[in-house]
Each structure stands twice: as structure tokens, then as C-alpha cells.
Amino acid sequence: MPESDAARAARLRQLINHHDHRYYVLDDPEISDAAYDDLLNELKGLEAAHPVLMTSDSPTQRVGGKAAHEFRPVQHPRPMLSLDNAFTVDDFMNFDRRVATRLGVEVVSYTAETKLDGLAVSLLYDAGVLVRAATRGDGETGEEVTDNVRTIRAVPLLLHVKQPPALLEVRGEIYLDEIGFAALNRRQLERGEKTFANPRNAAAGSLRQLDSKITASRPLTMVCYAIGACDGWDPPDSHFECLQWLRAAGLRVSPETSRVQGAAAALAYYEAMATRRATLGYAIDGVVYKVDSRDAQAMLGQAAKAPRWAIAFKFPPEERATRVLDIDVQVGRTGALTPVARLAPVVVGGVTVTNATLHNADELARKDVRIGDLVIVRRAGDVIPEIVRVVLDQRPSTATRYGMPDAVPDQARAQRIQSIIHFASRRALDIEGLGDKWVEQFVTLDLIKDAADLYHLTLESLVALERLGEKSATNLLAAIAASKQTTLPRLLYGIGIKEVGEATAHVLAEQFGSLERIMQASCAELEQVPDVGPIVANHIHAYFALAEHREFLARLRIAGVHWPNTEPRKADSPLAGWTVVLTGTLESLTRDDATARLQAVGAKVSSSVSKKTSVVVVGIDAGSKAVKARELKVPILDEAGLVALLAKPLAATSILDRHALRQAAAE
């Protein structure tokens, strides 16, 4: 009896899903690419002839559809927390001791996993069908990228289980492996388009395409590492067994995942992954340890931003040798000249590095970097390229010192460019999409002379530029318009007053409440602001004394840029004028929350301990700041003391006295 079209379509969907799983998840294909294409084309033909046969979970629906206008915000069922980091063996051993002590055991069982360098996402399955995918975002709210994730063949549209949970959230990492990244960049070159700097940037750009057809053309893949929210199913107590269940359900799980017993075995896993890192075929920047028992995880709980039952043990920054081709200077927003080493291109941590800042003349002299030197380069924090040292025994006889100039040609223009870049930066006016190259081009073409001119750019003027299409120009103008609504601290930071950083901008706004009051303040009044000494006060006063700066601020207002006044800090606040240093991990408060609450009651939060520090708050794993506080006999509070201080600032002296007595007794 001949098979009906509906039955054939159902069987084709089942076959294609099976072969997707064999190829993309198990890396063990059973049929050739040509045979697979035949199955897919047959299904496409049936669905085209009989649209009623098309289902939302059909493999034909992975190709991408209509472009979206925006990414809709999504509230995660449970927060997607970040992980605390370990950078040394001691860091990990301290973590292990804390876990063992809290659980009351001698040996902790962990699941050890590779830490991929990709983008965290959440997949939501309703009765086994993929209904939503979202980026991590800030952990509470992400962006919906369902249409884009549906194009990734490693992500099953339908779970391979007979009785799926009513609702299941799966978390994982979307990334590009080395082969996929190389293939993508080859295609970019063939099309005459810009190549991607590293796999993570390529994956991020691919996943956040408004047109899912573009995402479908990118070789993205995914590894799953956790179960989030769940309804209608009791997951195994073992995290390791949960991952095996996910694998059986059709989701990719890292083949390097292992269950280890105790700290020694965990460290052996770290060493093994560090050795094999270069041969894995995809980028990892460390390993992750999770307490294996989910019941134990629940007992350990979480701090404000990270679980207490997991930690990421990061690999040390990768170092590479390269040659200094030249040294020149960059002009900063204040006109300061910064020496920069121009390097022979070298790949460090997956990124091609060609420049490294030498900070200032003193640093240049201290490291004694010369043109022609062989140097060791790394990316500080896996981000900023820096020269670690010169390989002195390989210094060529032709190596030459660089003499710092007092000025450079076109310095004023370069300074204007840097000031606009600073104004638009994330922590200032936050104009998304306004990159350095665009600012440089706008200034070069006389489209803008300063940041206020940004608000007078038009679509006509932008689309006339090379490589800036109408869609990109429209998005940029929307970002510029959105930046008109800002805050006084952001504005004060963004206008680029010398030596006024974010913290100083915040306390200035807090102290005076309005821009007008700051502009009218004398140097003596400015010096009353915590952490504003005579030099910084003079910089602030001199900035507002210039007519061109006052005219610039007026033009910002005329263009529609506005910022609400802030409530001036009350001078009679019990903690007014206090300088507080936070060190270590706080559990009941986030660092940002503690800072905001301290500032709200008049205190200034500093990053360094000195004799002028009023109190140091010590959390878990406090380091050198706690030691320095004891050396300088600066009062120390634990987290409970901080909470008491915030709850009853009027009792500040007695709270400090009680903790001082405890500290003396402990010593």
C-alpha cells in the first residue's frame, strides 16, 4: 500500500532529525551529504505542494525567514548567574575548602567542564518543542533570538524523548569552532567583506542578526551545560547525569565533561585541559567546576550574582613573542601623548594584535622597549594588549630608542576625535554603534566638529558616505537620539574634564545636584567634595571658565540633550565625607548595590586603602587590601557590620567600636 504524503512527510522529518543528531551532536554521520540533501529536498517538495503538512518543528524551517525589526526583551524563568573566577591554585583550593566546610564533607564530587569562549543562551522547550531562545543579557533579562537559534542544526527543534517535560529550560554556549570560523572568514574575503577578529566576535555578530537568513549561513554550533527551570519532570540529582540526559535528548554536551572526586582530581583535569587546549578545535579560556549533587547545590545556595557551588578556573593569559616595528604616539582627549608600540601581527588568545600601549614616557623607559626589539605580548584580562617584557638576549644591534615628542602634527584634530569617542563611550552618553572609525571619518569630512554636532547629523549626510547604508545610518541616528536622555554623572564624565573619572563625576553630581551649581562653584567649594583636591578642583573650574565649553553645553541643551538634577547630598548625613573600601566577595549585597547604598548616605567608595580611609569592608577571599588596612590600623568591618552600618548610620561610631573590639580579640 503506497505511503500517504502526510505519513511520508512525518517519516522524512524523523529521518532528517535523526541524521542531524548523528552529524551535529554525535559527530558520527550515517549517510553522505548528498543523501541527506535528497531527504531534505524531498521534504521541501512535499511541504511546498501541501502547505498543510508543514510543522513548526520541521527541519525545513531552519533556513531563516522574514527579518525582524528588533530583539524583544525576555525575562528569564530563573536568573542566569555569572560565575566567580579562580586564577590560581590557591583560589581554587579556597573555594574547595569553603564548599567542603559548608557541606560537612572531606571530599567534594564535582562535574568538570571546559569553559567555552562563546555566548550564553537559554532554550525553552514546551512539551519537547523549542518555543523560545534568548541571550543571557544582564542575567535577569535577555533578548529573544528564537528565529536565529532555530537555524543552528546542533539545536534540536524537538527533543528526542518519548515523554518530554511539560516545560524545560536548557542553558548553553553558542560558538564557532576553528574550522567554522576559518570557513566563515574565507567567505567574507571572497565577498570582499571585512573578516572577523576572533570566533567569539563572529558568533556574537552572527547570533544578533535581525535577518535570520544571515545567521543560517554562519556555521554556529552549541554545547549545553545546565538545566534551568523545569516543570513536569524530576531531573537526576547528579549534574553529570543531567548532562547525559540532555545528550540522550538530542542536545550537544561537551565530550570533555568529566566527574571528578576531590581537589586533586579537579586540578589534574585543569592541567590536562591546559595541555590539550590548543588541539581541541575550539576556543576555551578555562575550566568550570560544579558541585555534582543538585541537592548540595541547593544547600550551598548563591550570592547576589554567582552560585556558591560553582567556579571558573581561568587559564593564564596567553603570551606570544613578536617584533616592535615602530613606536609612535596617540593623542588623548585631553591632548596627552601616549606612546604606542606598533607590532608585527601576532595572534594572542584568538585575536590578532598589532598595537600595544606603553602608557607614558616613564613606562616606556622602565620597560626599555626599543624599535626592533623582540617582545613578549599578552592581553591583560584577555582583553587589552600589553608588552610584558623585552627579550633582552635577542635585542638586535640596530634597536633604537624612541624619543617622546612634545607635540605632533594635527594634534588638535586628533584630540577632537578622541574627545568625541569618549563622549559617546558606554559609560558616558553610550551611543551604540558609533565606532572610532566613524568618528574619525565624520571629523575628517567636516560633518562634525565636536560632540554636539552629532545631534545634527542627517540621514542624507550619512547615506552619502562609503560603506554606510541606509539601514546602518538609520540605526546610528536612533542611537544618537536615544542618548539625549542621560544623567548628570554621565554628562560630567562624558564632557572630558581632565582627571574627572566616573567616581568623581558621581560625587560632584551628588554634592551639587545640578550642572549650574558646579559651573558656578569656586575652587574652594570644589575642594570640599570628597577626593577632589586642589589640582582636580582647578581642572574643573578652568573647564567651565572657558566660553567655548559653556557654549558647547548650551548647544547640547538646544539639541535636546537633557539630564535631571540630582538630590544634593545632605551635609548632615552621618557618613558624609567617609571613604569606604570594599574588598572580597559580598554575599547578601552585590558590589554595585553596596556602593550605591553607601553613596546614598554620603560616603565615597574608593578602590585603594590609605591612611585617609574611614573603614574597609572585608568579604570572602579578601586580599591585600585587608592586609594593608590592618597595617595602617584602618577600621575593618565584615559584611554583617556593613549591613548594620547601612541600616543604622547614626550608630556608625558604636558599630565600628564593636567590630574593633572583635578584631582586637581575634588578634
By annotation, the residues acting in catalysis are: 115
For residue 189, the tally of other CB atoms under 10 A from its CB is 11
Measured distance CA(175)–CA(202) in Å, rounded: 8
> Which region holds residue 31: left if phi is over 0, alpha if psi is between -120 and 50, else beta?
beta
Cβ-Cβ contacts under 8 Å for 530 (sequence gap 6 or more): 507, 511, 577, 579, 604
CA dihedral 463, 465, 467, 472 (to 10 degrees): -30
Distances (CA, A) of 348 to 44, 376, 608: 44, 10, 31
CA distance 43 to 41: 5
CA dist., res. 618 & res. 626, Å (int)? 7
Which string of DSSP letters, residue by residue, matches 202-237? HHHHHHT-SSHHHHHTS--EEEEEEEEEEES----S
The H-assigned helical ranges of 323-410 are 361-367
Task: Give the angle subtended at the CA of 167 by the CAs of 218 and 300, to the nearest 5°.
Answer: 95
Beta bridge partners of 328: 340
**Cα–Cα distance for residue pair 662/643, rounded to 1 Å:** 17
Give the C-alpha separation, 586 to 84, whole Å.
Answer: 12
Host H or E run for residue 582: strand 579-583
Cell of 517: 551649581
Contact (CB, 8 A) for 107 and 100: yes
Q: Give every CB contact of residue 157 below 8 A, 6+ residues apart in sequence.
A: 17, 56, 57, 58, 59, 61, 62, 129, 130, 150
C-alpha of 17 from chain center: 34
Partners of 222 in beta bridges? 174
